Amino acid sequence: MPRVRVQAEPFDAGREIAALTAGRRDVGAVATFVGLVRDLNEGSAVSAMTLEHYPGMTEKALEAICDEAEGRWDLLGLRVIHRVGPLAPGDAIVLVAVASAHRGEAFAACEFLMDYLKTRAPFWKKERTGSGERWVEARETDEAAAARWSGKPPAA
Amino acid sequence: MVTVLYFASLRERLDCASELLPLPPGTPTVADLVERLRAREGRWPEAFAPGRAWRVAVNKAMADLATPLKPGDEIAFFPPVTGG
Protein backbone atom coordinates (compact mmCIF):
# COMPACT_ATOMS: atom_id res chain seq x y z
CA MET A 1 0.00 0.00 0.00
CA PRO A 2 1.33 3.49 -0.79
CA ARG A 3 1.98 5.53 2.33
CA VAL A 4 0.29 8.63 0.86
CA ARG A 5 -3.19 8.75 -0.65
CA VAL A 6 -5.34 11.66 -1.79
CA GLN A 7 -8.87 10.50 -2.47
CA ALA A 8 -12.53 11.54 -2.56
CA GLU A 9 -13.69 8.28 -0.96
CA PRO A 10 -13.98 7.74 2.79
CA PHE A 11 -11.26 5.73 4.55
CA ASP A 12 -11.42 3.05 7.22
CA ALA A 13 -8.93 3.85 9.99
CA GLY A 14 -9.15 0.33 11.39
CA ARG A 15 -8.26 -1.19 8.05
CA GLU A 16 -5.28 1.15 7.68
CA ILE A 17 -3.97 0.22 11.12
CA ALA A 18 -4.42 -3.47 10.31
CA ALA A 19 -2.45 -3.01 7.06
CA LEU A 20 0.38 -1.24 8.93
CA THR A 21 0.76 -4.06 11.44
CA ALA A 22 -0.15 -7.14 9.37
CA GLY A 23 2.44 -9.89 9.70
CA ARG A 24 4.76 -7.83 11.89
CA ARG A 25 6.03 -8.50 15.37
CA ASP A 26 8.33 -5.52 15.72
CA VAL A 27 5.58 -2.90 15.96
CA GLY A 28 4.93 -1.94 19.56
CA ALA A 29 2.88 1.20 18.98
CA VAL A 30 0.54 2.72 16.42
CA ALA A 31 -0.53 6.34 16.91
CA THR A 32 -3.35 7.64 14.72
CA PHE A 33 -4.94 11.01 14.19
CA VAL A 34 -8.26 11.47 12.41
CA GLY A 35 -9.44 14.98 11.50
CA LEU A 36 -13.18 15.57 11.09
CA VAL A 37 -15.34 18.30 9.58
CA ARG A 38 -16.91 20.35 12.39
CA ASP A 39 -20.33 21.95 12.10
CA LEU A 40 -19.09 25.22 13.62
CA ASN A 41 -16.15 27.42 12.53
CA GLU A 42 -15.38 31.04 13.40
CA GLY A 43 -18.81 31.39 14.99
CA SER A 44 -20.83 30.21 11.97
CA ALA A 45 -22.71 26.97 11.45
CA VAL A 46 -21.09 25.01 8.64
CA SER A 47 -23.43 22.92 6.49
CA ALA A 48 -20.90 21.60 3.95
CA MET A 49 -17.28 21.82 2.95
CA THR A 50 -15.29 21.38 -0.25
CA LEU A 51 -11.62 20.47 -0.26
CA GLU A 52 -9.62 21.73 -3.24
CA HIS A 53 -6.03 20.68 -3.85
CA TYR A 54 -3.19 20.93 -6.35
CA PRO A 55 -3.01 17.49 -7.97
CA GLY A 56 0.56 16.33 -8.34
CA MET A 57 2.02 18.80 -5.87
CA THR A 58 -0.18 17.53 -3.05
CA GLU A 59 1.18 13.99 -3.29
CA LYS A 60 4.73 15.29 -3.67
CA ALA A 61 4.40 17.54 -0.62
CA LEU A 62 2.93 14.73 1.49
CA GLU A 63 5.70 12.33 0.41
CA ALA A 64 8.30 14.94 1.40
CA ILE A 65 6.67 15.37 4.81
CA CYS A 66 6.70 11.58 5.28
CA ASP A 67 10.40 11.45 4.30
CA GLU A 68 11.13 14.10 6.88
CA ALA A 69 9.29 12.18 9.62
CA GLU A 70 11.14 8.99 8.73
CA GLY A 71 14.43 10.88 8.92
CA ARG A 72 13.62 12.19 12.39
CA TRP A 73 12.27 9.07 14.08
CA ASP A 74 12.69 5.30 13.77
CA LEU A 75 9.36 4.44 12.23
CA LEU A 76 8.12 1.04 11.13
CA GLY A 77 5.41 2.34 8.82
CA LEU A 78 3.19 5.31 8.17
CA ARG A 79 0.06 6.32 6.32
CA VAL A 80 -1.27 9.71 5.34
CA ILE A 81 -4.71 9.82 3.71
CA HIS A 82 -6.34 13.14 2.86
CA ARG A 83 -9.78 13.46 1.31
CA VAL A 84 -10.73 16.00 -1.35
CA GLY A 85 -14.00 17.16 -2.87
CA PRO A 86 -17.34 17.65 -1.11
CA LEU A 87 -17.57 16.73 2.60
CA ALA A 88 -20.19 17.14 5.30
CA PRO A 89 -19.93 17.85 9.05
CA GLY A 90 -18.92 14.65 10.81
CA ASP A 91 -17.00 13.33 7.81
CA ALA A 92 -13.38 12.31 8.35
CA ILE A 93 -11.02 14.50 6.28
CA VAL A 94 -7.57 13.26 7.17
CA LEU A 95 -5.87 10.21 8.66
CA VAL A 96 -2.30 10.00 9.89
CA ALA A 97 -1.17 6.64 11.27
CA VAL A 98 2.36 5.93 12.48
CA ALA A 99 3.82 2.59 13.57
CA SER A 100 6.97 2.31 15.66
CA ALA A 101 8.56 0.12 18.30
CA HIS A 102 7.62 2.46 21.17
CA ARG A 103 4.86 4.98 21.74
CA GLY A 104 7.05 8.07 22.09
CA GLU A 105 8.15 8.02 18.48
CA ALA A 106 4.68 7.17 17.19
CA PHE A 107 3.03 10.03 19.12
CA ALA A 108 5.71 12.56 18.15
CA ALA A 109 5.79 11.61 14.47
CA CYS A 110 1.99 11.66 14.25
CA GLU A 111 1.82 15.19 15.64
CA PHE A 112 4.72 16.33 13.46
CA LEU A 113 3.05 14.94 10.33
CA MET A 114 -0.20 16.78 11.09
CA ASP A 115 1.56 20.07 11.91
CA TYR A 116 3.56 19.95 8.69
CA LEU A 117 0.63 18.79 6.59
CA LYS A 118 -1.46 21.74 7.76
CA THR A 119 1.14 24.28 6.67
CA ARG A 120 2.88 22.65 3.68
CA ALA A 121 0.41 20.53 1.73
CA PRO A 122 -1.60 22.43 -0.92
CA PHE A 123 -5.17 21.90 0.26
CA TRP A 124 -7.80 24.62 0.62
CA LYS A 125 -11.12 24.40 2.46
CA LYS A 126 -14.25 26.17 1.35
CA GLU A 127 -17.15 26.20 3.81
CA ARG A 128 -20.83 26.69 3.18
CA THR A 129 -22.55 28.63 5.96
CA GLY A 130 -25.94 30.34 6.33
CA SER A 131 -24.50 33.46 4.67
CA GLY A 132 -22.98 31.69 1.67
CA GLU A 133 -19.66 30.10 0.84
CA ARG A 134 -16.32 31.26 2.20
CA TRP A 135 -12.71 30.15 1.93
CA VAL A 136 -11.22 29.15 5.25
CA GLU A 137 -8.39 31.48 6.30
CA ALA A 138 -5.03 30.04 7.32
CA ARG A 139 -4.38 30.24 11.06
CA GLU A 140 -1.23 31.66 12.58
CA THR A 141 -1.48 29.04 15.32
CA ASP A 142 -0.90 26.37 12.64
CA GLU A 143 2.32 28.10 11.55
CA ALA A 144 3.41 28.29 15.19
CA ALA A 145 2.66 24.59 15.68
CA ALA A 146 4.80 23.68 12.66
CA ALA A 147 7.61 25.99 13.77
CA ARG A 148 7.95 24.02 17.02
CA TRP A 149 9.62 21.26 15.02
CA SER A 150 12.24 23.40 13.32
CA GLY A 151 14.78 22.95 16.11
CA LYS A 152 16.64 19.74 16.79
CA PRO A 153 14.43 16.68 17.04
CA PRO A 154 14.03 15.38 20.57
CA ALA A 155 16.12 12.36 21.47
CA ALA A 156 14.13 9.20 20.88
CA MET B 1 6.45 29.78 -22.45
CA VAL B 2 5.48 28.79 -18.94
CA THR B 3 2.24 27.43 -17.50
CA VAL B 4 0.75 29.51 -14.70
CA LEU B 5 -1.90 28.03 -12.40
CA TYR B 6 -4.11 29.72 -9.80
CA PHE B 7 -5.89 27.94 -6.97
CA ALA B 8 -8.73 28.42 -4.48
CA SER B 9 -9.67 32.01 -3.55
CA LEU B 10 -6.99 33.42 -5.86
CA ARG B 11 -8.45 31.52 -8.84
CA GLU B 12 -11.92 32.82 -8.04
CA ARG B 13 -10.80 36.41 -7.48
CA LEU B 14 -8.88 36.46 -10.77
CA ASP B 15 -11.40 34.32 -12.64
CA CYS B 16 -8.49 32.35 -14.08
CA ALA B 17 -7.44 28.75 -13.40
CA SER B 18 -4.51 28.48 -15.79
CA GLU B 19 -2.79 30.25 -18.67
CA LEU B 20 0.27 30.04 -20.86
CA LEU B 21 2.57 33.05 -20.66
CA PRO B 22 5.83 34.02 -22.34
CA LEU B 23 8.81 34.18 -19.98
CA PRO B 24 10.05 37.65 -19.11
CA PRO B 25 13.37 38.33 -20.91
CA GLY B 26 16.83 37.87 -19.43
CA THR B 27 17.24 35.58 -16.41
CA PRO B 28 13.69 35.75 -15.13
CA THR B 29 12.55 34.96 -11.61
CA VAL B 30 9.17 34.61 -9.95
CA ALA B 31 9.44 38.30 -9.02
CA ASP B 32 9.61 39.28 -12.72
CA LEU B 33 6.52 37.23 -13.47
CA VAL B 34 4.65 38.78 -10.53
CA GLU B 35 5.56 42.25 -11.80
CA ARG B 36 3.88 41.39 -15.10
CA LEU B 37 0.76 40.10 -13.38
CA ARG B 38 0.57 43.26 -11.24
CA ALA B 39 0.69 45.39 -14.37
CA ARG B 40 -2.57 43.89 -15.62
CA GLU B 41 -5.95 45.57 -15.44
CA GLY B 42 -8.76 44.61 -13.11
CA ARG B 43 -8.19 42.65 -9.94
CA TRP B 44 -4.62 41.60 -10.70
CA PRO B 45 -2.71 44.45 -9.01
CA GLU B 46 -4.74 44.07 -5.82
CA ALA B 47 -4.40 40.27 -5.76
CA PHE B 48 -0.61 40.51 -5.94
CA ALA B 49 -0.18 43.72 -3.94
CA PRO B 50 2.74 43.74 -1.48
CA GLY B 51 1.61 42.43 1.87
CA ARG B 52 -1.10 40.20 0.46
CA ALA B 53 -0.79 36.62 1.62
CA TRP B 54 -0.10 34.35 -1.33
CA ARG B 55 2.27 31.48 -1.94
CA VAL B 56 4.05 30.30 -5.06
CA ALA B 57 5.25 26.91 -6.22
CA VAL B 58 7.53 26.19 -9.19
CA ASN B 59 7.29 22.73 -10.71
CA LYS B 60 5.21 21.59 -7.71
CA ALA B 61 7.74 22.63 -5.07
CA MET B 62 7.35 25.64 -2.78
CA ALA B 63 9.27 28.61 -4.17
CA ASP B 64 9.74 32.33 -3.52
CA LEU B 65 10.24 35.59 -5.39
CA ALA B 66 13.91 34.81 -6.08
CA THR B 67 13.26 31.41 -7.64
CA PRO B 68 14.56 31.40 -11.26
CA LEU B 69 12.24 30.43 -14.11
CA LYS B 70 12.96 28.59 -17.35
CA PRO B 71 10.87 27.63 -20.38
CA GLY B 72 8.38 24.87 -19.66
CA ASP B 73 8.13 25.58 -15.92
CA GLU B 74 4.81 25.22 -14.13
CA ILE B 75 4.25 28.11 -11.74
CA ALA B 76 1.33 28.02 -9.30
CA PHE B 77 -0.02 30.86 -7.17
CA PHE B 78 -2.32 30.14 -4.24
CA PRO B 79 -3.42 31.38 -0.81
CA PRO B 80 -1.89 29.98 2.39
CA VAL B 81 -2.93 26.34 2.70
CA THR B 82 -5.79 25.18 4.95
CA GLY B 83 -5.86 21.38 4.79
CA GLY B 84 -5.92 18.86 7.61
Distance of alpha carbon A101 from the chain centroid: 21
Angle between helices A103-120 and A57-72 (to 10 degrees): 150
Averaged pLDDT for residues A95-106 = 98
Read off the CATH number of the domain in which A126 is found.
3.90.1170.40
A82 contact B CB<8A: yes
> Quick one: pLDDT band at residue A62, thresholds 50, 70, 90?
very high
CATH number of the domain bearing residue B53: 3.10.20.30
Q: Is the pLDDT of residue A156 over 50?
A: no
The number of folded domains in chain B is 1
Pick from B5, B60, B82: CB nearest A136: B82
Question: B83 vs A117: CB contact, 8 Å cut-off?
Answer: yes
Residue A110 falls inside a structural domain: yes
- Cβ–Cβ contact B17 with A under 8 A: no
Average pLDDT, rounded, for chain B: 95
pLDDT of residue B28 exceeding 60, the answer is yes
3-class DSSP state for residue A124?
strand
pLDDT band at B24 (very low <50, low <70, confident <90, very high): confident
Chain A residues with CB inside 8 Å of B76's CB?
54, 57, 122
Q: Structural domain tally of chain A?
A: 1
Examine the pLDDT at A153 and tell me if it is beyond 90: no
How many CA atoms does the CB half-sphere of A98 hold within 13 Å?
Answer: 27
Per-residue model confidence (pLDDT) at position A1? 76
A37 within some domain: yes
What distances in angstroms separate CA A121 from CA A3, A113, B23, B77, B79, one per listed residue?
15, 11, 27, 14, 12
Identify the domain containing residue B59 by its residue range: 2-78
- Asked whether residue A156 is assigned to any structural domain, the reply reads no
Give the pLDDT band of residue A42 (cuts 50, 70, 90).
Answer: confident
Query: Count of H helices and E strands in chain B?
Result: 3, 5
B83 in a structural domain: no
**Residues A91, A37 contacting (CB under 8 angstroms):** yes
